[in-house]
Amino acid sequence: KAGVTQTPRYLIKTRGQQVTLSCSPISGHRSVSWYQQTPGQGLQFLFEYFSETQRNKGNFPGRFSGRQFSNSRSEMNVSTLELGDSALYLCASSLDGRYQPQHFGDGTRLSIL
Amino acid sequence: AQTVTQSQPEMSVQEAETVTLSCTYDTSESDYYLFWYKQPPSRQMILVIRQEAYKQQNATENRFSVNFQKAAKSFSLKISDSQLGDAAMYFCAYRSLTAGGTSYGKLTFGQGTILTVHP
């Protein structure tokens, strides 16, 4: 069974631009969560989607948004990029996002110049 | 809000020896899961072991076992017969099981412990 796939693996953007990251979950998994990982703040939860609906959201500004498609694939969008958005963005999928464990992808490394 | 604390930024162990990584957490909830994840330099977060709070028996997975002390809110990971491939950053994580949307899909992580394995 294929694991969680995140694309692209690396991304370089400049301040003010916007970016879209993609996550394909493990087949059959309907829950997709996104996390931001930085050296200073560690791992922080962004949001979770289940069956195309956002069920939970972390404490991030509105510039961070996401969506989920009918095939459970998810995208995360960050608008008006800031230097502080430089981070590793991790996606995790789970059967239900509650009782079943989350399995992570390799992440997208986003660098803002 | 729940918090997870890993007080050991770095640990080291000799190959074939045993090492224990510490984790404490703070919560007022009674139903939750605790996890240990491993993140090697390849970046992928790999699930090592899971513990359900309602279970008194400590979870084990091959060379990995936990010491879960619910009253003390402590959740340590023991790695036996350490191998070079165990070298990684280890994260302790908490997931609430309370009713309501704030528990869905959210893991609260500690700051991590870098484990070095010496040959």
pLDDT of A66 > 80? The answer is yes
Centre a 10 Å sphere on the Cβ of residue A96 and count the other Cβ atoms it contains: 12
pLDDT of A1 > 80? The answer is no
pLDDT of B104 > 90? The answer is no
Give me the total of CB pairs closer than 8 Å, taking one residue from chain A and one from chain B. Answer: 67
Helix (H, G, I), strand (E, B) or coil at B103: helix
Nearest residue of chain B to residue A97 (CA atoms)? B105
State the average pLDDT for chain B.
Answer: 94
- Across the interface, whether the CB atoms of B105 and A98 are under 8 A apart is answered yes
- Across the interface, whether the CB atoms of B105 and A88 are under 8 A apart is answered no
CA distance A81 to chain B (A): 23
C-alpha R_g of chain B: 14
Q: Return the percentage of chain B with pLDDT > 70, whole number.
A: 97
CA distance B74 to chain A (A): 20
pLDDT at B99: 66
CB contact B109 to A (< 8 Å) = yes
- At B111, list the tokens: 């700051």
- Across the interface, whether the CB atoms of A33 and B47 are under 8 A apart is answered no
pLDDT of A42 > 90? The answer is yes
Rounded to whole angstroms, the Cα distance separating B22 from B43 reads 22
Centre a 10 Å sphere on the Cβ of residue B30 and count the other Cβ atoms it contains: 10
User: Mind listing the pLDDT tens digit for each residue in B29-49?
Assistant: 889 999 999 999 878 899 999
pLDDT of B62 > 90? The answer is yes
Q: How confident is the model at residue B101 (pLDDT cuts 50, 70, 90)?
A: low
pLDDT of A57 > 80? The answer is yes
pLDDT at B65: 97
CA distance A48 to chain B (A): 6
Q: Return the percentage of chain B with pLDDT > 90, whole number.
A: 83
Four-point Cα dihedral A93, A4, B107, B82, nearest 10: 130
pLDDT at A26: 97
